[in-house]
Structure 1
Amino acid sequence: MKDLVKSAWEALCRRYSSDEELIRQLWDELEKGYTAKDRHYHNLAHIAYMLELADRYKQEPQQQDLLLFAIFYHDIVYKATRSDNEEQSAVIAAQRLHLLGIPEADILHVKEMIIATKAHQTNADYQTNLLLDLDLAILGADQERYDRYSEGVRKEYSIYPDLIYKPGRRKVLQHFLAQPHIYKTPAFQEAFEEKARANLQRELKES
């Protein structure tokens, strides 16, 4: 799995830079971030799943590349105790994409996409909505995969006792279920909405 993610990263970067040392250094940083010992869900498996689905819902090349950069960097900073993970991830993405020679307008777009994963609100930009749907695709996965996700999230918040964690988690589940649509794009609504609602309702009932 790691090799597949690494290969996808290298192929993406080589479309913009021939500096193999830079590409390797950036990968090492990504790998270190996503394999930290406190990453039980927001890890390389999460990135791999998003990349797999991004390929299934592929766009035209330039737009697809920006989506891929956003996928790789959207959780580069992730700490359960922080409230600015998305903003910090966006800052790092901008700095690294500048090194790869990505145009400033495209860098700004990637930053905006990453920051949008904080509130997960429907956006005027289709690409951003697609990133948000990819980020939440796990909610509509099969039961076993969903349960691994929810267990992983609980481990990432293990510093909090059940007394604090469970009410917060129930609030998150209820928030998603209260929305007219969990997913922003018609393709994801069709493919994942029904299963996501079933998974969320099951976890809420069992919590």
Structure 2
Amino acid sequence: MTPAIFADLQHRHAEPHRAHHDWARISGMLAMAEEVSHALSDKPAFILAILFHTAIFDRANPEAEAQSIRVMHRHLGRTLPRHMLARAETLIHAVLRQEAPETDDPGLRADAALLLDMDNAVLGETAARFDAFEAANRHEYAHLPDDRYRAGRIAALQMLLWRDRIYHTDRYWLEREKRARRNIEYALVQLEGR
């Protein structure tokens, strides 16, 4: 990965409509990945997925996911093996759709579970950090009026609570599950005006 590619990604992640999906978040996910690098099936593809999954980010743009993948291929398609890019693409789809890929590859499933948990790690942060995330999330949905945002956010948070587990991996489940559920329940009270 060249300095020019990193500079491009940092520039993209500095766009003013990003309040949570910025370079600080990417750096945090890279640090989390380093902590579990021994458990990754394909570290290079995993890192690519972190770097590029929100290369294009706009909550009002339904094509952002496909465009992010195109940015990755444009930057790296001629220099990296096709299988590595395909694996990174599968991981990007997993995190953006918030569901593990259907695959017979246990390593890919495990990597996707870790990436999903890293993406949702903020849900299990301290109450203050979770509140800051909620405020940033609202900023990123600035194109929606309050009533539509509130209804959508309530539905999204409620669906998280309905899961048996928010976190897929034991590591994140043990560290963050209880706090995430408390944070989400508190957010729902605020959003519903209870």
TM-score w.r.t. length of structure 1:
0.84
Deviations 1:68-119 (A, max 9, x none): 11111111111010123222212222222224x2211011000111011222
C-alpha distance in 1 between matches for 2:51 and 2:65: 13
1:121 equivalent to 2:99? Answer yes
Give 5+ residue unaligned stretches, structure 2: 104-108
TM-score w.r.t. length of structure 2:
0.89
CA RMSD of the aligned region, Å?
1.6
The one of 17, 34, 42 equivalent to 1:38 is 17
Q: Greater CA deviation, 164-173 or 54-63?
A: 54-63
Instruction: Letter of the 1:102 partner, please give it.
Output: L
C-alpha distance in 2 between matches for 1:88 and 1:182: 28
**Percent of matched pairs sharing the same residue:** 25
1:194 equivalent to 2:178? Answer yes
TM-fit CA distance, 1:63: 1.7
Question: In the alignment, which residue of structure 1 is the partner of 2:61?
Answer: 82
Question: In the alignment, which residue of structure 1 is the partner of 2:114?
Answer: 130
Q: Greater CA deviation, 104-113 or 65-74?
A: 65-74
Aligned 8 A contact 1:113 1:128 in 2:
yes
Regions of 4+ moved over 3 Å = none
Residues 201 and 33 (structure 1 numbering): CA distance in 2 closer, same or farther, change over 3 Å?
same
Question: In the alignment, which residue of structure 1 is the partner of 2:143?
Answer: 159
Give 5+ residue unaligned stretches, structure 1: 1-12, 14-22
Matches within 5 A, 1:1-207: 13=1, 23-59=2-38, 63-99=42-78, 101-123=79-101, 124=103, 125-207=109-191
Aligned 8 A contact 1:86 1:117 in 2:
no
Count of equivalent residues: 185
